[in-house]
Structure 1
Amino acid sequence: MAGIAGLAAVVLVFVVLVGSRQEPPFNATAAEFLTHYRSPDTVASGFRPFVFTVALVTFVWFVVALSTLLRRAEGEAPWRSSIAMASGVLFAALVLSGSEVAAAFRADDLDPQIARYAFDEAQAAFANARVALGSFAVCCGWVIASTRFLPRWVGWLAIASGVGLALSRISWTSPIWLPPYLMFWLWVLTVSVLLLRRSFRGVVQSG
């Protein structure tokens, strides 16, 4: 279940992003933000927000399933896997709390300054969410590296991406968050494939 949910989350997230209009920079004018929300090719408009919501809920499935597996590997007092689960759920909640969907829905009647505020509010929520995502990655990587539930390099990859995501909050208006963010989704993809291979191998051996 963890492997399937992880793969599905990665696919859905990037399906939403592919073809989406590039977001304006933070120093753009209020009119540019309004034009952005009036475009049909943003993450917040059309069918995309539904797919993105499904992607985040699927990611929560991955978080809970993986944390449960790590809890077993961690053994007594599994506090790291518990923090990982809470952090992963918090990430999805913070991202979904953004106001961009509402701004896109009312874009035709929206004041340009409110459009600017909606963008800043959504970006601030995403910046806070990256700290929660970093906490999830660090805790998962810590358990993996110390228990060898998966190859140790997988654990260190998670820790590296998690630290980068958390530190990117310092300069939350800078695109410095992008490399560790992409590294994190690469880690999710890797973990999902490894878990699916392990499950498939277990079925073959038992048969």
Structure 2
Amino acid sequence: MQNSQQLQNRIPNSHPTLSDRSEQLELSESMFYYFAYGSCMCPVDLRRSLGEPTHLYVVGVARLNGYRLGFYYHSPHRDCGCLDIVQDANSYVEGVLYCLPSRLSDRLDLREDVSGGGYQHELVTVKVGKNIYSNVRTYSVVNKLTRELAPNDWYSSVVLRGASTCGLTERYFWQLFYHIYQLQLLQVKGNGNRVQERTG
């Protein structure tokens, strides 16, 4: 079983996607595992926040058992619903496992609005193929909405692009797609009903 503590002061050379990168980094650089399930699955969008290429740090597609996705966070920046994970023994979440340098930790926290009470660290165990990784950092919403809030088109496109380009399973991708579609459809219907009530 892999443990994030084992990453201290070395680069894990067992992952082909990291082998080329390891030659460019000092072997003494501290690293941590990070499981992304939302917009951070897209390395291009994650690079925008972290300030350097992140596809080089991808370990692979990961599966988190015992959780499900939900849009239980209202992003004040995007003014829409954003993804969260909630415990559910009968479900699972797919995402991307990164192995990031610890020097990027504060930038990741900033993106997730940890200091502002948006998201918080949560340590989980994920699987990549047959390999198990424990003490993996992910983020969960601190003050969850009681009902899911639909994401906007921009956020949805980033999430789905990350899910597609990073190779999440086809079944999971389409489940995510239809979940987003249904939320957006309900929002449109809700807005239409409110307009009718005001004009009726």
TM-score, normalised with respect to structure 2: 0.25
Question: TM-score, structure 1 length as denominator?
Answer: 0.24
Structure 1 or 2: larger helix share? 1
Structure with bigger strand share is 2
